[in-house]
Amino acid sequence: MHESSMKGKRHAVRGSLFHCLCDPGPGGDSRASEYFEDGLLLIENGRIVEYGPALPALARLPENTPVTDYSGKLLLPGFIDAHIHYPQTDIIASYGAQLLEWLNKYTFPTEARFGDPEHAEEVAEFFLEELLRNGTTTAMVMPTIHPVSVDAIFSAAQKRNMRLISGKVLMDRNAPDNLCDTPREAYEQSRLLIEKWHKRDRLLYAITPRFAPTSTEAQLREAGKLAAEYPDTYVHSHVAENHEEIAWVEALFPWSRSYLDVYHKFGLLRERSLFAHGIHLDKTDRKLLEKSGATLAFCPTSNTFLGSGLFDLEDTRQHNVRVGLATDVGGGTSFNMLQTLSDAYKIQQLAGRNLAPTQGIYLATLGSAQALYLEDKLGNFLPGKEADFIVLDDQATPLISRRTSTTTSIEEKLFVFMKLGDDRAVYATHIMGEEAHLR
C-alpha cells in the first residue's frame, strides 16, 4: 500500500527496533535501552500506539492492517540535530580559519544573501532534503537576521510536516552593516514572527541572539523581554566556544562574571534556552545551567574543525545539565549524526573516557529531545510519541556489510554504524509515520 493512502489509519512497520528510555551513560547501562531483533511499531494518525516484539503484535493485528516490512534493517527514532545553521549550507568545508576569522571570512558574506526570499527558499529546500537523507527528522535551526529567511525555513518544514525550531537571528553590532538590525527591529520582527509561526503545526519559535559579541546590551535586554513575554518559546544562542571569543566577551561586558553570566543577567537562561558549544565553562556556569534549566548542544565536528576545544560531556552530565548532539553545519563538517557521533567518540577518547554506542544513540535521539524539552513528543518509541523514525541498513556499503557480519550484539552493530555510517546507511526516513525519504 502506498504511504499516502495510510494517512489517518493504523499501520504497522516491521524491523529490528532500538531505542533509549533514559541516558545509558558512558558505561552503556543496558537497562536504559530496549532492543527487539524482530520488532513492530504500530502507528495511528502519525503517532506511535504500540511497540514491541513483532510476532505477538502481528497475531493481534486486524487482518487488513498494512505492514511496511523493513525486516533485517534497524529502526531508530529520528535523529534530532540540536543546533545547525541552514544559511551555512554553502560554506560547509571552508578552509583554514578559527571561529572569529571564519565568521568574517565565510559566514557573514554568505548570510548576507538571505534577504532574498528566492535564495532563502532554494537553500531551505536543499537543506531539509539533506537532513532527511541523513536521518535527521527534527532540528533547531539558526537562519539569519532577515525575517524572510525565517519564513523560508518554516515554510519548507511545514510542507514536510517536520517538527522544527527556528527564529530570526538578532545582531546589532560587530557585524557588517547589511547584517545588523536594531534593538527595536529585533523586538518587533521577532514578535511578529512568533505570532506567525510559534506552535503552527509542528513548528516552534526560538528567540535568537546570535552570540553576546554581536548584540548590544540594549538588544539583549529586548531579547530577555521577549523571553519573559513568551515563556513557551525557545532561546537559542552560542556560548564559550573559543578562547579569543571569550576574551572579547570579557572586554565587551566587563561587569560580567563569565560569558554565560551575560545571558543570565539579561534573563536569557531558562527552560527551553539552548546554547551551542559551552566548551570553556567553569563549575559555577554549569551550576547556573542546572539551576535555570538551560541546556547545551555538543557539536563535535565543529569543535574539532574550528579548533575550538574538547567539550566535557561527563562533567556536564554530572551537573545534570541536559545535552543535545548537534552538527553545527557549516562550522560542523557533516550533516550526518552518525559521523557526528564518530567525532564525539574520539573527543571522549582524548579525555580518557568512553562513549558507549547506546549512549551515542541516546544523545542523537532522546538526549537531544530532552535538551529541547521535547521528550514528551520525540526521542523514542513510547506510545503517544510522534512517529518520526529512520531505517538503517547494515548492507549499505561493502565495508559496513563485512564488518557487521561478525558482530554479535546490538551494541557492537550500533558502534559500527557510529564509526562507519553516513548518509548511505540511512535507508529510509519517516515523518509522522509517513515515508519522507527512501534511498
Q: Of the candidates 23, 172, 328, 386, which one interacts with ligand GUN according to CB under 6 A?
A: 328
Q: Confirm or reject binding of residue 276 to Zn ion (CB under 5 A).
A: yes
Q: Confirm or reject binding of residue 328 to Zn ion (CB under 5 A).
A: yes
| Residue 107 contact among ligand GUN, Zn ion, none, beta carbon within 5 to 8 Å by kind | ligand GUN
| Grid coordinates of 314 | 561527563
Q: Is 286 helix (H, G, I), strand (E, B) or coil?
A: helix
Query: Which one, 79 or 211, has the nearer CB to Zn ion?
Result: 211
Supply the minimum distance, in Å, between the C-beta of residue 9 and Zn ion: 40
Q: How far apart are CA 130 and CA 125, in angstroms?
A: 9
Query: Which one, 276 or 414, has the nearer CB to ligand GUN?
Result: 276
Q: How far apart are CA 368 and CA 139, in angstroms?
A: 9
Report the phi/psi class of residue 118: left, alpha or beta, with left for phi > 0 and alpha for psi in -120 to 50. alpha
Supply the minimum distance, in Å, between the C-beta of residue 237 and Zn ion: 9
The edge-to-edge listing of strands for the beta sheet with 67-77 is 47-53, 33-44, 10-20, 67-77, 389-392, 426-431, 434-438
Phi, psi (5° rounding) for residue 209? Answer: -65, 125
Q: Confirm or reject binding of residue 343 to ligand GUN (CB under 6 A).
A: no
Query: Which one, 99 or 227, has the nearer CB to ligand GUN?
Result: 99
Query: Which one, 15 or 332, has the nearer CB to ligand GUN?
Result: 332
Q: How far apart are CA 165 and CA 137, in angstroms?
A: 12
Query: Which one, 189 or 237, has the nearer CB to ligand GUN?
Result: 237
What x/- string results for residues 219 through 238 when contact with ligand GUN is judged by CB under 6 A? -------------------x
Supply the minimum distance, in Å, between the C-beta of residue 211 and ligand GUN: 4
Query: Which one, 333 or 429, has the nearer CB to ligand GUN?
Result: 333
Supply the minimum distance, in Å, between the C-beta of residue 46 and ligand GUN: 33
- Beta-carbon contacts of 397 under 8 Å, excluding residues fewer than 6 positions away, are 420, 424, 425
Helix axes 117-133, 147-159, angle to 10 degrees: 40
Tell me which residues in 244-273 interact with ligand GUN (CB under 6 A).
none
Helix count and strand count (H, E) for the chain:
17, 16
Supply the minimum distance, in Å, between the C-beta of residue 320 and ligand GUN: 25
Q: Of the candidates 16, 33, 107, 215, which one interacts with ligand GUN according to CB under 6 A?
A: 107
Supply the minimum distance, in Å, between the C-beta of residue 301 and Zn ion: 12
Q: Is 238 helix (H, G, I), strand (E, B) or coil?
A: strand
Q: Of the candidates 302, 304, 358, 380, which one interacts with ligand GUN according to CB under 6 A?
A: 302
Beta carbons of 428 and 438 less than 8 angstroms apart? yes
Which one of the spans 99-107, 123-131, 387-395, 423-431 is the region binding ligand GUN (CB under 6 A)?
A: 99-107
Q: Confirm or reject binding of residue 146 to ligand GUN (CB under 6 A).
A: no
Q: Confirm or reject binding of residue 280 to ligand GUN (CB under 6 A).
A: no
Q: How far apart are CA 303 and CA 351, in angstroms?
A: 14
99-124 in b/e burial notation, b at 16+ Cβ within 10 A? bbebbeebbbebbbbbbeeebbbebb
Amino acid type, 13? V
Query: Which one, 70 or 114, has the nearer CB to ligand GUN?
Result: 114
Q: Of the candidates 78, 331, 360, 433, which one interacts with ligand GUN according to CB under 6 A?
A: 331
Tell me which residues in 195-214 interact with ligand GUN (CB under 6 A).
210-211
Query: Which one, 164 or 276, has the nearer CB to Zn ion?
Result: 276
Q: Of the candidates 222, 241, 312, 411, which one interacts with ligand GUN according to CB under 6 A?
A: 241
Q: Confirm or reject binding of residue 85 to ligand GUN (CB under 6 A).
A: yes
Q: Which segments within 86-244 are labelled E, that is strand?
A: 136-142, 163-166, 169-170, 203-209, 234-239
Q: Confirm or reject binding of residue 111 to Zn ion (CB under 5 A).
A: no
| Residue 289 contact among ligand GUN, Zn ion, none, beta carbon within 5 to 8 Å by kind | none
| Grid coordinates of 298 | 555538543
Name the residue number minimizing CB distance to ligand GUN: 331
Element holding 83 (H helix, E strand): strand 79-85
Provide the H-helix boundaries in 113-173: 117-133, 147-159
The footprint of Zn ion (CB under 5 A) covers 276, 328
Q: Which residues bind ligand GUN (CB under 6 A)?
A: 85, 99, 103, 107, 210-211, 238, 241, 302, 328, 331
